[in-house]
Structure 1
Protein backbone atom coordinates (compact mmCIF):
# COMPACT_ATOMS: atom_id res chain seq x y z
CA UNK A 1 0.00 0.00 0.00
CA UNK A 2 1.29 3.42 -0.87
CA UNK A 3 1.81 5.94 1.90
CA UNK A 4 0.60 9.52 1.74
CA UNK A 5 3.03 12.31 2.60
CA UNK A 6 3.70 13.50 5.16
CA UNK A 7 3.59 10.74 7.81
CA UNK A 8 3.76 12.52 11.20
CA UNK A 9 5.19 10.23 13.91
CA UNK A 10 4.25 7.20 11.84
CA UNK A 11 7.09 5.06 13.16
CA UNK A 12 6.03 5.70 16.78
CA UNK A 13 2.40 4.80 16.00
CA UNK A 14 3.41 1.61 14.20
CA UNK A 15 5.72 0.55 17.04
CA UNK A 16 3.05 1.16 19.71
CA UNK A 17 0.51 -0.92 17.78
CA UNK A 18 3.07 -3.68 17.39
CA UNK A 19 3.80 -3.78 21.13
CA UNK A 20 0.09 -3.85 21.99
CA UNK A 21 -0.45 -6.71 19.57
CA UNK A 22 2.37 -8.86 20.94
CA UNK A 23 1.21 -8.48 24.55
CA UNK A 24 -2.22 -9.96 23.70
CA UNK A 25 -1.03 -13.08 21.86
CA UNK A 26 0.41 -16.30 23.33
CA UNK A 27 4.18 -16.48 23.65
CA UNK A 28 4.41 -19.16 20.97
CA UNK A 29 3.10 -16.65 18.39
CA UNK A 30 5.30 -13.76 19.50
CA UNK A 31 7.94 -14.31 16.82
CA UNK A 32 5.43 -14.29 13.94
CA UNK A 33 3.73 -11.16 15.33
CA UNK A 34 6.93 -9.23 15.95
CA UNK A 35 8.45 -9.75 12.50
CA UNK A 36 5.70 -8.00 10.49
CA UNK A 37 5.43 -5.30 13.14
CA UNK A 38 9.14 -4.55 12.94
CA UNK A 39 8.94 -4.48 9.15
CA UNK A 40 6.01 -2.05 9.30
CA UNK A 41 7.80 0.19 11.77
CA UNK A 42 10.94 0.15 9.63
CA UNK A 43 8.94 1.00 6.49
CA UNK A 44 7.19 3.88 8.26
CA UNK A 45 10.49 5.24 9.57
CA UNK A 46 12.04 5.06 6.09
CA UNK A 47 9.03 6.84 4.56
CA UNK A 48 9.27 9.58 7.15
CA UNK A 49 13.00 9.98 6.52
CA UNK A 50 12.60 10.22 2.73
CA UNK A 51 9.66 12.61 3.11
CA UNK A 52 11.74 14.95 5.26
CA UNK A 53 14.55 14.87 2.71
CA UNK A 54 12.12 15.74 -0.09
CA UNK A 55 10.59 18.74 1.67
CA UNK A 56 11.91 22.03 0.34
CA UNK A 57 12.87 23.75 -2.89
CA UNK A 58 14.59 21.91 -5.75
CA UNK A 59 15.85 23.39 -9.02
CA UNK A 60 16.89 22.05 -12.41
CA UNK A 61 17.70 23.77 -15.70
CA UNK A 62 15.46 23.08 -18.68
CA UNK A 63 17.84 21.89 -21.45
CA UNK A 64 15.53 23.26 -24.16
CA UNK A 65 15.01 26.80 -22.82
CA UNK A 66 17.95 27.09 -20.39
CA UNK A 67 15.47 28.38 -17.78
CA UNK A 68 15.39 27.19 -14.18
CA UNK A 69 12.40 25.08 -13.17
CA UNK A 70 11.62 24.83 -9.46
CA UNK A 71 9.83 22.03 -7.61
CA UNK A 72 8.67 22.68 -4.04
CA UNK A 73 7.51 19.73 -1.93
CA UNK A 74 5.39 20.83 1.06
CA UNK A 75 4.47 19.05 4.32
CA UNK A 76 0.82 19.12 3.21
CA UNK A 77 1.61 16.67 0.37
CA UNK A 78 1.45 19.46 -2.21
CA UNK A 79 3.86 19.82 -5.11
CA UNK A 80 4.38 23.36 -6.42
CA UNK A 81 5.97 23.56 -9.87
CA UNK A 82 7.27 27.09 -10.40
CA UNK A 83 7.56 28.25 -14.01
CA UNK A 84 9.60 31.45 -14.37
CA UNK A 85 9.04 34.14 -16.96
CA UNK A 86 11.46 36.67 -18.35
CA UNK A 87 10.15 39.48 -16.16
CA UNK A 88 11.52 37.73 -13.05
CA UNK A 89 8.04 36.92 -11.76
CA UNK A 90 6.54 33.47 -11.96
CA UNK A 91 3.50 31.26 -11.77
CA UNK A 92 3.27 28.04 -9.79
CA UNK A 93 1.18 25.00 -10.66
CA UNK A 94 -0.15 23.29 -7.52
CA UNK A 95 -0.73 19.54 -7.43
CA UNK A 96 -0.67 16.75 -4.88
CA UNK A 97 1.99 14.09 -4.52
CA UNK A 98 2.37 10.64 -2.99
CA UNK A 99 5.44 8.44 -2.56
CA UNK A 100 6.21 4.77 -2.06
CA UNK A 101 9.69 4.10 -0.69
CA UNK A 102 9.34 0.31 -0.56
CA UNK A 103 10.05 -0.15 -4.27
CA UNK A 104 13.29 0.13 -6.20
CA UNK A 105 13.40 2.70 -7.72
CA UNK A 106 11.14 4.59 -5.32
CA UNK A 107 7.80 5.69 -6.75
CA UNK A 108 6.26 9.15 -7.02
CA UNK A 109 2.72 9.96 -8.07
CA UNK A 110 1.86 13.52 -9.12
CA UNK A 111 -1.84 14.12 -8.58
CA UNK A 112 -3.63 16.74 -10.68
CA UNK A 113 -7.04 15.35 -9.64
CA UNK A 114 -8.37 12.01 -8.36
CA UNK A 115 -8.81 10.94 -11.98
CA UNK A 116 -5.54 12.37 -13.30
CA UNK A 117 -2.45 10.86 -11.71
CA UNK A 118 0.97 10.81 -13.36
CA UNK A 119 3.19 7.93 -12.23
CA UNK A 120 6.96 8.17 -12.18
CA UNK A 121 10.08 7.16 -10.24
CA UNK A 122 12.66 9.05 -8.19
CA UNK A 123 15.79 8.61 -6.13
CA UNK A 124 17.92 10.68 -3.77
CA UNK A 125 21.57 10.43 -4.78
CA UNK A 126 24.57 10.14 -2.49
CA UNK A 127 25.36 13.76 -3.39
CA UNK A 128 22.00 14.88 -1.99
CA UNK A 129 20.38 15.50 -5.38
CA UNK A 130 16.96 14.39 -6.60
CA UNK A 131 16.83 12.30 -9.77
CA UNK A 132 13.35 12.40 -11.29
CA UNK A 133 12.10 10.72 -14.46
CA UNK A 134 9.97 13.28 -16.32
CA UNK A 135 10.27 12.08 -19.91
CA UNK A 136 6.87 10.97 -21.25
CA UNK A 137 5.15 11.23 -17.88
CA UNK A 138 1.40 11.74 -18.41
CA UNK A 139 -1.75 10.68 -16.54
CA UNK A 140 -2.86 7.23 -17.60
CA UNK A 141 0.56 6.18 -18.86
CA UNK A 142 2.42 3.28 -17.20
CA UNK A 143 5.09 4.05 -14.66
CA UNK A 144 8.68 3.80 -15.95
CA UNK A 145 10.66 0.96 -14.42
CA UNK A 146 14.11 2.51 -14.80
CA UNK A 147 15.69 5.92 -15.29
CA UNK A 148 16.39 7.09 -18.82
CA UNK A 149 19.56 8.91 -19.82
CA UNK A 150 17.51 12.13 -19.90
CA UNK A 151 16.22 11.85 -16.32
CA UNK A 152 16.21 15.27 -14.64
CA UNK A 153 18.64 15.92 -11.80
CA UNK A 154 17.40 18.50 -9.29
CA UNK A 155 19.58 20.28 -6.75
CA UNK A 156 18.14 21.32 -3.40
CA UNK A 157 18.55 25.05 -2.89
CA UNK A 158 16.41 25.61 0.20
CA UNK A 159 14.47 23.85 2.95
CA UNK A 160 11.72 26.45 2.59
CA UNK A 161 8.32 25.12 1.52
CA UNK A 162 6.62 28.50 0.98
CA UNK A 163 6.38 30.54 -2.22
CA UNK A 164 7.65 34.10 -2.66
CA UNK A 165 4.88 36.71 -2.49
CA UNK A 166 5.14 37.60 -6.20
CA UNK A 167 4.41 34.06 -7.39
CA UNK A 168 0.88 33.42 -8.65
CA UNK A 169 -0.54 29.97 -7.83
CA UNK A 170 -2.65 28.15 -10.42
CA UNK A 171 -4.49 24.92 -9.61
CA UNK A 172 -5.05 22.54 -12.49
CA UNK A 173 -8.58 22.30 -13.81
CA UNK A 174 -11.14 19.80 -12.62
CA UNK A 175 -14.83 19.70 -13.41
CA UNK A 176 -15.60 21.31 -10.03
CA UNK A 177 -13.11 24.14 -10.57
CA UNK A 178 -14.26 25.09 -14.08
CA UNK A 179 -16.14 28.31 -13.11
CA UNK A 180 -13.23 29.83 -11.13
CA UNK A 181 -10.25 28.78 -13.24
CA UNK A 182 -10.90 31.19 -16.17
CA UNK A 183 -11.16 34.17 -13.82
CA UNK A 184 -7.90 33.18 -12.15
CA UNK A 185 -6.10 32.58 -15.44
CA UNK A 186 -7.29 35.85 -17.01
CA UNK A 187 -6.27 37.73 -13.85
CA UNK A 188 -2.75 36.30 -14.11
CA UNK A 189 -2.51 37.26 -17.79
CA UNK A 190 -3.77 40.76 -17.00
CA UNK A 191 -1.20 41.26 -14.25
CA UNK A 192 1.52 39.95 -16.55
CA UNK A 193 0.45 42.42 -19.26
CA UNK A 194 0.57 45.28 -16.75
CA UNK A 195 4.11 44.33 -15.73
CA UNK A 196 5.11 43.98 -19.39
CA UNK A 197 3.70 47.43 -20.20
CA UNK A 198 5.59 49.08 -17.34
CA UNK A 199 8.81 47.47 -18.57
CA UNK A 200 8.37 48.01 -22.33
CA UNK A 201 5.89 50.84 -22.80
CA UNK A 202 3.53 48.59 -24.77
CA UNK A 203 1.41 45.47 -24.37
CA UNK A 204 2.47 42.03 -25.61
CA UNK A 205 0.64 40.92 -28.74
CA UNK A 206 0.74 37.20 -27.95
CA UNK A 207 1.81 34.60 -25.39
CA UNK A 208 5.29 34.22 -26.87
CA UNK A 209 6.01 37.92 -26.51
CA UNK A 210 4.48 38.02 -23.03
CA UNK A 211 6.69 35.14 -21.93
CA UNK A 212 4.67 34.00 -18.92
CA UNK A 213 3.11 30.96 -20.62
CA UNK A 214 3.63 29.25 -23.95
CA UNK A 215 0.26 27.51 -24.24
CA UNK A 216 -3.02 29.41 -23.83
CA UNK A 217 -5.15 26.28 -24.10
CA UNK A 218 -6.26 24.05 -21.23
CA UNK A 219 -8.60 21.08 -21.02
CA UNK A 220 -11.78 23.13 -20.78
CA UNK A 221 -10.86 26.61 -22.09
CA UNK A 222 -8.98 28.38 -24.84
CA UNK A 223 -7.49 31.76 -23.87
CA UNK A 224 -6.62 34.50 -26.35
CA UNK A 225 -4.69 37.77 -26.32
CA UNK A 226 -6.40 39.93 -28.92
CA UNK A 227 -4.67 43.18 -30.06
CA UNK A 228 -7.16 46.04 -30.35
CA UNK A 229 -7.13 48.74 -33.04
CA UNK A 230 -6.08 48.54 -36.68
CA UNK A 231 -6.38 45.34 -38.70
CA UNK A 232 -2.62 44.87 -38.58
CA UNK A 233 -2.81 44.47 -34.80
CA UNK A 234 -1.49 47.84 -33.65
CA UNK A 235 -3.62 50.55 -32.12
CA UNK A 236 -2.20 53.35 -34.26
CA UNK A 237 -0.37 52.09 -37.28
CA UNK A 238 3.25 51.17 -36.49
CA UNK A 239 3.22 52.64 -32.99
CA UNK A 240 3.67 50.29 -30.00
CA UNK A 241 0.60 48.27 -29.08
CA UNK A 242 -1.44 50.24 -26.56
CA UNK A 243 -4.58 48.11 -26.20
CA UNK A 244 -5.30 44.38 -25.91
CA UNK A 245 -8.21 42.19 -24.86
CA UNK A 246 -7.88 38.89 -23.00
CA UNK A 247 -10.64 36.34 -23.58
CA UNK A 248 -11.54 32.88 -22.25
CA UNK A 249 -13.54 30.67 -24.62
CA UNK A 250 -15.07 27.43 -23.28
CA UNK A 251 -14.44 24.34 -25.35
CA UNK A 252 -17.38 22.22 -26.52
CA UNK A 253 -18.18 19.40 -24.09
Structure 2
Protein backbone atom coordinates (compact mmCIF):
# COMPACT_ATOMS: atom_id res chain seq x y z
CA UNK A 1 0.00 0.00 0.00
CA UNK A 2 1.11 3.57 -0.66
CA UNK A 3 -0.14 4.92 2.69
CA UNK A 4 2.09 4.55 5.72
CA UNK A 5 -0.79 4.21 8.21
CA UNK A 6 -1.83 0.89 9.73
CA UNK A 7 -5.44 1.76 10.59
CA UNK A 8 -7.70 3.51 8.08
CA UNK A 9 -11.05 5.03 9.02
CA UNK A 10 -13.14 4.68 5.87
CA UNK A 11 -16.52 6.43 5.53
CA UNK A 12 -19.22 4.41 3.80
CA UNK A 13 -22.38 5.65 2.01
CA UNK A 14 -25.31 6.66 4.21
CA UNK A 15 -27.72 5.40 1.57
CA UNK A 16 -26.73 5.73 -2.07
CA UNK A 17 -23.92 3.26 -2.81
CA UNK A 18 -22.36 5.71 -5.29
CA UNK A 19 -21.39 8.04 -2.44
CA UNK A 20 -17.97 6.52 -1.80
CA UNK A 21 -14.60 7.84 -2.93
CA UNK A 22 -12.22 6.10 -5.30
CA UNK A 23 -9.54 6.16 -2.60
CA UNK A 24 -11.88 4.50 -0.11
CA UNK A 25 -12.54 1.67 -2.55
CA UNK A 26 -8.83 1.18 -3.13
CA UNK A 27 -8.06 1.10 0.60
CA UNK A 28 -10.80 -1.45 1.22
CA UNK A 29 -9.28 -3.67 -1.46
CA UNK A 30 -5.69 -3.32 -0.27
CA UNK A 31 -5.93 -3.72 3.52
CA UNK A 32 -5.56 -7.12 5.16
CA UNK A 33 -8.76 -6.89 7.21
CA UNK A 34 -11.93 -4.80 7.25
CA UNK A 35 -13.38 -4.18 10.71
CA UNK A 36 -17.12 -3.82 10.17
CA UNK A 37 -19.93 -2.84 12.53
CA UNK A 38 -22.27 -5.33 10.83
CA UNK A 39 -20.61 -7.69 8.34
CA UNK A 40 -23.97 -8.48 6.72
CA UNK A 41 -24.69 -4.83 5.90
CA UNK A 42 -21.14 -4.05 4.83
CA UNK A 43 -21.17 -7.22 2.74
CA UNK A 44 -23.73 -5.59 0.45
CA UNK A 45 -21.39 -2.69 -0.25
CA UNK A 46 -18.33 -4.90 -0.68
CA UNK A 47 -20.14 -7.26 -3.03
CA UNK A 48 -21.40 -4.31 -5.10
CA UNK A 49 -17.81 -3.15 -5.67
CA UNK A 50 -16.35 -6.67 -5.97
CA UNK A 51 -14.19 -6.33 -2.85
CA UNK A 52 -13.15 -9.67 -1.39
CA UNK A 53 -11.11 -8.48 1.62
CA UNK A 54 -11.92 -10.53 4.73
CA UNK A 55 -14.18 -8.90 7.30
CA UNK A 56 -14.15 -9.03 11.09
CA UNK A 57 -16.99 -7.90 13.32
CA UNK A 58 -16.21 -4.80 15.40
CA UNK A 59 -19.09 -3.06 17.16
CA UNK A 60 -20.15 -1.40 20.42
CA UNK A 61 -20.75 -4.75 22.14
CA UNK A 62 -17.33 -6.31 21.50
CA UNK A 63 -14.93 -3.37 21.06
CA UNK A 64 -13.64 -3.48 24.64
CA UNK A 65 -13.08 -7.23 24.45
CA UNK A 66 -11.26 -7.21 21.11
CA UNK A 67 -9.31 -3.96 21.49
CA UNK A 68 -5.99 -5.29 22.82
CA UNK A 69 -5.80 -8.11 20.25
CA UNK A 70 -6.47 -5.72 17.36
CA UNK A 71 -3.79 -3.32 18.56
CA UNK A 72 -1.30 -6.18 18.81
CA UNK A 73 -2.06 -7.27 15.25
CA UNK A 74 -1.63 -3.70 14.01
CA UNK A 75 1.70 -3.41 15.83
CA UNK A 76 2.79 -6.59 14.06
CA UNK A 77 2.24 -4.99 10.66
CA UNK A 78 -1.33 -5.87 9.72
CA UNK A 79 -3.23 -3.20 7.79
CA UNK A 80 -6.89 -2.65 8.76
CA UNK A 81 -9.79 -0.51 7.64
CA UNK A 82 -12.57 0.40 10.04
CA UNK A 83 -16.06 0.98 8.63
CA UNK A 84 -19.50 1.39 10.16
CA UNK A 85 -22.94 0.57 8.79
CA UNK A 86 -23.14 4.05 7.28
CA UNK A 87 -21.14 7.26 7.48
CA UNK A 88 -17.84 8.08 9.16
CA UNK A 89 -16.45 5.84 11.93
CA UNK A 90 -16.44 7.33 15.46
CA UNK A 91 -19.25 9.81 14.64
CA UNK A 92 -22.00 8.33 16.87
CA UNK A 93 -20.52 4.94 15.94
CA UNK A 94 -17.65 2.73 17.20
CA UNK A 95 -14.11 3.91 16.51
CA UNK A 96 -13.02 6.31 19.22
CA UNK A 97 -11.59 3.62 21.54
CA UNK A 98 -9.58 1.95 18.79
CA UNK A 99 -8.17 5.25 17.51
CA UNK A 100 -7.19 6.33 21.01
CA UNK A 101 -5.46 3.03 21.72
CA UNK A 102 -3.62 3.11 18.39
CA UNK A 103 -2.30 6.60 19.07
CA UNK A 104 -1.22 5.54 22.57
CA UNK A 105 0.80 2.75 20.95
CA UNK A 106 2.30 4.95 18.20
CA UNK A 107 0.27 3.23 15.50
CA UNK A 108 -0.39 5.54 12.55
CA UNK A 109 -4.06 6.27 11.85
CA UNK A 110 -5.47 7.75 8.66
CA UNK A 111 -9.03 9.12 8.44
CA UNK A 112 -10.41 9.37 4.92
CA UNK A 113 -12.93 12.08 4.01
CA UNK A 114 -16.36 10.98 2.98
CA UNK A 115 -20.04 10.59 3.76
CA UNK A 116 -21.61 11.66 7.04
CA UNK A 117 -25.29 12.45 7.59
CA UNK A 118 -25.15 15.70 9.53
CA UNK A 119 -23.31 17.77 6.89
CA UNK A 120 -25.94 17.57 4.11
CA UNK A 121 -28.71 17.99 6.70
CA UNK A 122 -27.07 21.16 8.01
CA UNK A 123 -26.51 22.61 4.55
CA UNK A 124 -30.11 21.86 3.48
CA UNK A 125 -31.60 23.36 6.63
CA UNK A 126 -30.97 26.95 5.57
CA UNK A 127 -29.78 27.68 9.11
CA UNK A 128 -26.41 29.35 9.86
CA UNK A 129 -23.60 26.88 9.17
CA UNK A 130 -20.50 28.95 9.96
CA UNK A 131 -20.77 27.96 13.65
CA UNK A 132 -22.62 24.88 14.89
CA UNK A 133 -22.51 22.18 17.54
CA UNK A 134 -23.05 18.50 16.87
CA UNK A 135 -24.84 16.77 19.75
CA UNK A 136 -25.50 13.36 18.18
CA UNK A 137 -28.10 11.33 20.10
CA UNK A 138 -29.51 12.92 23.24
CA UNK A 139 -29.57 10.80 26.43
CA UNK A 140 -32.71 8.67 26.42
CA UNK A 141 -33.52 9.13 30.10
CA UNK A 142 -30.90 10.08 32.66
CA UNK A 143 -29.47 13.52 32.00
CA UNK A 144 -31.81 14.31 29.10
CA UNK A 145 -33.62 17.20 30.78
CA UNK A 146 -30.39 18.67 32.11
CA UNK A 147 -28.87 18.56 28.63
CA UNK A 148 -31.92 20.27 27.11
CA UNK A 149 -31.78 23.00 29.75
CA UNK A 150 -28.14 23.62 28.90
CA UNK A 151 -28.82 23.69 25.16
CA UNK A 152 -31.68 26.16 25.58
CA UNK A 153 -28.99 28.85 25.93
CA UNK A 154 -26.89 27.64 22.97
CA UNK A 155 -26.52 30.36 20.32
CA UNK A 156 -25.00 28.15 17.63
CA UNK A 157 -26.99 25.98 15.24
CA UNK A 158 -27.53 22.58 16.88
CA UNK A 159 -27.49 19.19 15.16
CA UNK A 160 -29.01 15.99 16.55
CA UNK A 161 -29.45 12.39 15.42
CA UNK A 162 -32.76 10.75 16.24
CA UNK A 163 -34.66 7.52 15.63
CA UNK A 164 -38.14 7.44 14.05
CA UNK A 165 -39.97 6.27 17.18
CA UNK A 166 -38.52 9.08 19.33
CA UNK A 167 -38.85 11.97 16.86
CA UNK A 168 -42.22 13.24 18.14
CA UNK A 169 -41.04 13.15 21.75
CA UNK A 170 -37.89 15.05 20.80
CA UNK A 171 -39.74 17.71 18.79
CA UNK A 172 -42.17 18.15 21.69
CA UNK A 173 -39.32 18.66 24.15
CA UNK A 174 -37.49 20.99 21.78
CA UNK A 175 -40.65 23.12 21.59
CA UNK A 176 -40.85 23.21 25.38
CA UNK A 177 -37.19 24.06 26.02
CA UNK A 178 -36.29 26.11 22.92
CA UNK A 179 -39.66 27.69 22.11
CA UNK A 180 -42.28 26.55 19.62
CA UNK A 181 -41.38 29.32 17.15
CA UNK A 182 -37.71 28.31 16.92
CA UNK A 183 -36.77 27.41 13.34
CA UNK A 184 -35.63 23.86 12.69
CA UNK A 185 -35.17 21.25 9.98
CA UNK A 186 -35.84 17.52 9.90
CA UNK A 187 -34.08 15.38 7.29
CA UNK A 188 -34.72 11.68 6.91
CA UNK A 189 -33.57 8.95 4.52
CA UNK A 190 -30.77 11.18 3.20
CA UNK A 191 -29.47 10.11 -0.25
CA UNK A 192 -32.15 7.40 -0.48
CA UNK A 193 -35.21 7.11 -2.73
CA UNK A 194 -37.62 8.54 -0.14
CA UNK A 195 -35.35 11.34 1.06
CA UNK A 196 -37.26 14.16 2.73
CA UNK A 197 -36.29 17.47 4.36
CA UNK A 198 -38.87 19.69 6.06
CA UNK A 199 -37.90 23.19 7.24
CA UNK A 200 -40.27 25.05 9.56
CA UNK A 201 -40.85 26.09 13.16
CA UNK A 202 -40.69 23.40 15.82
CA UNK A 203 -44.45 23.71 16.37
CA UNK A 204 -45.24 23.19 12.68
CA UNK A 205 -42.75 20.34 12.37
CA UNK A 206 -44.44 18.59 15.28
CA UNK A 207 -47.83 18.99 13.60
CA UNK A 208 -46.49 17.73 10.27
CA UNK A 209 -44.79 14.61 11.60
CA UNK A 210 -47.71 13.84 13.94
CA UNK A 211 -49.73 13.01 10.84
CA UNK A 212 -46.94 11.37 8.83
CA UNK A 213 -45.51 7.87 8.78
CA UNK A 214 -41.98 8.32 10.14
CA UNK A 215 -39.31 6.01 8.76
CA UNK A 216 -35.56 6.06 8.27
CA UNK A 217 -32.56 7.62 9.95
CA UNK A 218 -33.23 11.20 11.03
CA UNK A 219 -31.15 14.37 11.48
CA UNK A 220 -32.70 17.33 13.29
CA UNK A 221 -31.12 20.77 12.91
CA UNK A 222 -32.25 23.54 15.27
CA UNK A 223 -31.63 27.27 15.16
CA UNK A 224 -29.56 28.62 18.03
CA UNK A 225 -30.91 31.09 20.57
CA UNK A 226 -30.92 34.69 19.39
CA UNK A 227 -28.44 36.85 21.24
TM-score strictly above 0.5: no
- Return the structure number with greater helix share: 2
How does the TM-score come out when normalised to structure 2?
Answer: 0.30
Pair member with larger Rg: 1
